[in-house]
Chain A
Amino acid sequence: MIGYATFEAWWWPYVFIAIAGWLATDIWRWLGVLVGNRLKQDSAALTWVRAVATALLAAVIAKLILYPTGELAGVPVALRVVAAAAGFAAFLLAGKRIWVGIVTALGLLVGGQLLLP
């Protein structure tokens, strides 16, 4: 099968990225435009599409916290979950101030790693 390292040519990785990256993402954006063009504002269909979009994002969030990539994978899962939950609680308590939630979550994540053996 043709892969990223199949051809030596300098331009091949760019073709690989254009097909497996650019095309694979932008086709959904184009379809989204075509669908969105037909949705009326304040319609039930738009409410449903928005709910699906929000649930998708929420699933992405949960996965980024529970199954992270890179250096974050080395941090214990319990610490990640507690830090995120405490950050969200602080955000709500502070009258939905986003920066309060972020500072709390990051503070706990870094502080927790420094304190834990």
Chain B
Amino acid sequence: MIRFASITKTFSGVTALAGVSLTAATGTVHGVLGENGAGKSTLMRIAFGLERADHGAIEIGSSENRTSSGPRSPRDAARLGLGMVHQHFTLVPTATVTEACVLGASHGLGLVDHAAWQARIRATAAMLQWQIDPDARISSLGVGQQQRVEIIKALLSVGSVQGTASPFSARGVLILDEPTAVLTPQEVDELLPAVRRLAAAGTTVLFISHKLHEVERVCDAVTILRRGAVVHSGPVAGLSTQRMAELMVGTTVNLPSPARQPVTGAPALVITKLSERANAPAPRLTDVSFTVHQNEIVAIAGVDGNGQTALVRCVLGLDRADAVVTPGIPADQRLAGVERIGLIPDDRQHEALVMELSIERNLVLKDHHRPPFARYGWLDFAAWRAHAVDLVQRFSIRGAGPAATVASLSGGNQQKVVIARELHRQPKLIVAINPTRGLDVAASAEVLERLVSARDHGAAVLLVHHDLDELLSVADRVLVLFGGRMTDSGWPACDRAHIGRLMLGVA
């Protein structure tokens, strides 16, 4: 049994969780659903002791295991009976299965009884009806097998900390964080019955997902989060996937942006039947075709991990793709020079900015090698300073002046530095990926306004965005990417729920 009571968490002023309460009964599989950024991960990180809640309490197993603001550490969580399997595996490739499980456990200063561990692994695997060789090397195992090892490891680590022989105790709670994200359909079909067996053996399972069919198949109850708050909690029976999708993406009425002239601009990005090679990892881009014209914002909606990354890499020319054409710009020069393509990458701190360098230097990056910033390879710092002063003022970057490091800026102002650099030359094509990620409401609005104004000045904008509300508030057309395939939603002639269904593959 696990009970969250009014968990609240804010990150530097942004509310991630607003009084979330959730109760999962012993021996049940409880789904936790939500869009990216809905607060699922934060809630689970609090449960696992990686974050501390600002307010609220967590109760694991029974009321004597009540901790205000959550466990202090993953070890503390294990002591209380909670284990977690992360979306990204944490196994050492060169270790054997047994070694991996021993690594995850607590055994004080005592010696490791290898044979006993092997027996424990065999017993646990048998219980779940899995074939696991305790001496196999992790690197020799497929993804599905590695996940089984992760699950066994999590179960055994709880057992070892609690000192109980059986990893399945009535107090045990196992969190599976998007366990099917990396699995093939066959592997999913093998995993879900095992999850049911876990619950039947007395473990409480929290099943984090945004795949509605899986939730429907495996969960007894479900809690749906939206923008850090619970919008629904109750049994799965009687709840259609359609209804779940609506609850997840919300039913707020979104008025399309004021009617605009039909698109007349020249094409700035043409993609014709883009497919990844046959052995590319899932989700493989398949027959993706669309065109972005000048004077329009084409938004790509979709749950993260449905092919967005591969698509963006092809558009930017990081991966070779002949199916992608940017008229007037050779593929290998898409990234060079800000007058060609304005790029607002997903991860500004790693992909766009050099945090240790000054605002001034970050603003000139990309143009640093051409006049007036450099002549014959020789830099002209006076021009750099003038450029920075101009952009800091025009894009109202608030900080300690152009010579301050970008690291000293707030997230919103860091993003303004990126936008100032990428948009001030009015590029023909703008590619923006989750441009408001981690920003507060005001900063987000400002970023979106910049995109709209660039569009109005003739730019073609490709917006890949995880936040459906923001996306719909600026998009002229909305395409949906699901499982590597693209569908035109017909927006603004469709409603928001239709897009939500397309995003979740239940249309």
Q: Do A and B bind each other?
A: no
What is the interface of chain A, defined by CB distance below 8 A to chain B? none
What is the interface of chain B, defined by CB distance below 8 A to chain A? none
